[in-house]
Amino acid sequence: MIHAEKVVDAQGLACPMPIVKTKQAITDMQAGQVIEVQATDKGSKADLAAWSKSAGHQYLGTIEEGEVLKHYLRKSSNDDSLERKHPHTIGNQTLKNKIAEDAQLLVLDVREKAEYAFDHIPGAVSIPLGEIDSRMTEVDPNKNVYIVCRTGSRSNLAAQKLAANGYKQVYNVVPGMSEWDGQTDSN
């Protein structure tokens, strides 16, 4: 059994709530302490791993116990570390305008497959955040890439990953699908 100084219950919550609850809880912890985040959202594994890296914390790993994913993170020793944000963001309305005028763009949806299946922007390519590293070659580096998720959190992390791998025209769409009022498709 792994000892954690704090346990966060994020069971039954979808993105971005496991990250939000973890952010709140880790703030009061001492550097080097371990937090256990209990979640049932399968996407939380990739979400928390990517968030902890961007926030400067150490993602230790995940243990599955039935339906519960127990994530372990170690608080950074650098209390001044700030969570990085991708510098290029656009709003939903701007994306709708870009879709209408630019046939060469790529809308990349990084939500989980089930989220995408029920509601997505027509023509969007689905690569869940947890698969972005292994499927990055499917993203054309010569296109303007507009990344969406439900709220802008996972898409922010995906945008950082693409930019770190040499993609130049990457934009995080905020607030994303939670407030998208444009056309949608379902599978």
**Catalytic site residues?**
15
The answer to whether 173 touches 127, Cβ cutoff 8 Å, is no
Looking up tokens 């656009």 gives: 90
Evaluate whether 155 touches 172 at the Cβ level (below 8 Å).
yes
Residue 179 CB: number of other CB atoms within 10 A? 12
Could you give the residue ranges of the DSSP H alpha helices within 28-152?
44-55, 92-101, 113-118, 132-135
Q: State the helix-helix crossing angle for 44-55 and 153-164, rounded to 10 degrees.
A: 60
Tell me how far apart the terminal alpha carbons of the chain are, to the nearest angstrom.
42
The residue among 35, 23, 9 whose CA lies nearest residue 81 is 23
In whole angstroms, what separates CA 115 from the centre of its chain?
13
Residues 139/108, Cβ–Cβ less than 8 Å = yes
145 phi and psi angles, rounded to 5 deg: -110, 120
